[in-house]
Every structure is written in structure tokens, then in C-alpha cells.
Amino acid sequence: MLDCSASIVAYNNSPATIRAAAKSFLDCPLKVSLSVVDNSNQPFLKAALEGLALNYHFYGSNAGYGGANNWSIQHSPESRFHLIMNPDIVIRPGTVERLVEFMDKNPSVGIVCPRVLNEDGSDQYLNKRYPNVLDLFARRFFPKFLRKLLKSRLDRYEMKDIGYDAICDVEVMSGAFMFCRKDVLSALKGFDERFFLYFEDFDLSRKFQQSGYRTVYYPDAAVTHLWERGAYKNIRMAIIFIVSMCRYFNKWGWKWR
């Protein structure tokens, strides 16, 4: 059995970015396997990934983030853990080994997320409490001056009151990097594919918790996230965000503020 399988879902990403993400995982000295699932219109990534020991799968259509990851989860070799990572992640040396060690010592943990850093080494505040409609809309759509009026509640939503220097349980894990117990992930059938994009990570976090497993932040391991905010740049992505948000609250209960 492998130590860790992993999946990267691509959609018209830079080939150099994907290759860097893939290589950063494959350089791990443990027994690992990686699938790159390409949701793009054409299999242009295939040539860019030549020479890397990975499984490239051209989906042929855009299956969404959850759907493409589910393909990888179902088709990956047997492993103890499965890593879901964004195509713009670079894993720092020793991170995968530290996460495996942490999970081995903490069998109650189902998903662990490391410290996620910007390119300049500053923290990305990806740990979240369960969302409500006001906080989500404020973060995504309110102008800067209105967000300042809600700073204390938005800081709390991003768990800044607890901080990012200590191990803690997190209600909502970020789909940018989710290190999961493979047997639990498979038993839960992975992501709910009704979420084409956005909120699939919120939903998966709650499914693990509902099954009795903790979801935990572990800052002694770190990755770098280049992080492109699609919902800020594109009206279509903003609409997808709103649709997924409604599906999330329909499933787990509406909370307005």
C-alpha cells in the first residue's frame, strides 16, 4: 500500500505552474502516486508533464472540481492517505512526511491542512468557521469601506482570533490543500458533485465531521499557494459561487448572520 495518493485538477492552467505543483509532490521520499485530471478543452498539458511519474487523465469535458477529484480518488492506487491540492500549490520539502506523521499520531483526525503561505511568506487566512450569508457576501462582494465596518466579525470568521501559529480544530477546511484519510474519503464517496465549483470543501469538511472525524490545522508543515481569485475577476465565476453557496445552505441549513 502507498503512503499517499494525490490529485491535481487542472483547467486551462499554466503548464509551468502545473509541472511545479506536480514535481513538488513527487519529490517526496515516501511511496506516492499522483493523478493530474485535466478538465480543459484540449489535452495541452500532456506534453508539459512528460518525464514525470504521474497519471495524466484528459477528462474530455469540464467535470467540475469535485467531479474530477472524485475520478482520481476512485482510480488512484490503494493508499493510506489521499491529498487534494490545487494546481497552484508548491509543497515545501518535508511537508508530506510531517503530515503523515501527524495523522499516524492522531487517528481521530480525518483531514489535516498545513500552513498555507503567500509567495512572500505571509499567511493566507484559509481556516474558517461555519459560514453565514452575511459574512460570505461581505468577503466576496462588499466594497472595501464596508468590509472595514465588519472587520471584527470577518476576522473571527477567518479564525484570526485564534491565530495561525498553533494546532487547532477547524470547522471549514480549504480545498486548496486537504490531506485526507483515504479509507474515510472513499467511504464518503468523495466530493458531492452537485457543487461544480466552490463550497465542495465546506461540504466535505462537514461530512468528515458528521462521520466522527476531526478536521485540523497543523502549522508545523507548510505549502505555498499562488492563489488566483476567480470569483473576483469573472462574472460567470461569481454566479457559480452564488449558486454553490445556495446549494450548501440548502443542504446544511441557512444561517443569515
Does residue 166 belong to any structural domain of this protein? yes
Cα–Cα distance measured from residue 122 to residue 216, given in angstroms and rounded to the nearest whole number: 20
pLDDT of residue 237: 87
In tens digits, the chain (257 residues) has pLDDT values of 999 999 999 999 999 999 999 999 999 999 999 999 999 999 999 999 999 999 999 999 999 999 999 999 999 999 999 999 999 999 999 999 999 999 999 999 999 999 999 999 999 999 999 999 999 999 999 999 999 999 999 999 999 999 999 999 999 999 999 999 999 999 999 999 999 999 999 999 999 999 999 999 999 999 999 975 554 568 888 899 999 999 999 999 999 99
pLDDT of residue 112: 98
CATH of the domain at 17: 3.90.550.10
Beta strands 214-225 and 89-91 are: antiparallel
Does residue 210 belong to any structural domain of this protein? yes
Q: Are 244 and 199 in contact (CB under 8 A)?
A: yes
Does residue 257 belong to any structural domain of this protein? no
Residue 179 belongs to what H/E stretch?
strand 177-181
Residue with cell 511511496: 31
Question: Helix axis angle, 235-252 relative to 200-210, nearest 10°?
Answer: 20
**Residue 154 is which amino acid?**
L
Does residue 29 belong to any structural domain of this protein? yes
Residue with cell 503567500: 118
Q: Which three cell numbers stand for residue 53?
A: 511519474
Partners of 57 in the beta sheet?
37
DSSP secondary structure letter of residue 29: S
pLDDT of residue 229: 55
* Triad 56, 58, 60: Cα angle to 5°: 170
Cα–Cα distance measured from residue 178 to residue 250, given in angstroms and rounded to the nearest whole number: 24
DSSP secondary structure letter of residue 94: T
Does residue 187 belong to any structural domain of this protein? yes
Cα–Cα distance measured from residue 19 to residue 14, given in angstroms and rounded to the nearest whole number: 9
Q: Which three cell numbers stand for residue 7?
A: 490529485
Q: What sections of the chain are H helices per DSSP?
A: 15-26, 45-48, 64-75, 95-105, 133-141, 144-149, 151-157, 182-187, 200-210, 230-233, 235-252
Number of domains present in the structure of the chain = 1
Cα–Cα distance measured from residue 180 to residue 99, given in angstroms and rounded to the nearest whole number: 10
pLDDT of residue 231: 47
Does residue 171 belong to any structural domain of this protein? yes
Cα–Cα distance measured from residue 135 to residue 16, given in angstroms and rounded to the nearest whole number: 35
Does residue 61 belong to any structural domain of this protein? yes
Does residue 103 belong to any structural domain of this protein? yes
Cα–Cα distance measured from residue 110 to residue 98, given in angstroms and rounded to the nearest whole number: 15
Question: Helix axis angle, 235-252 relative to 133-141, nearest 10°?
Answer: 170
Q: Domain range holding 38?
A: 2-252
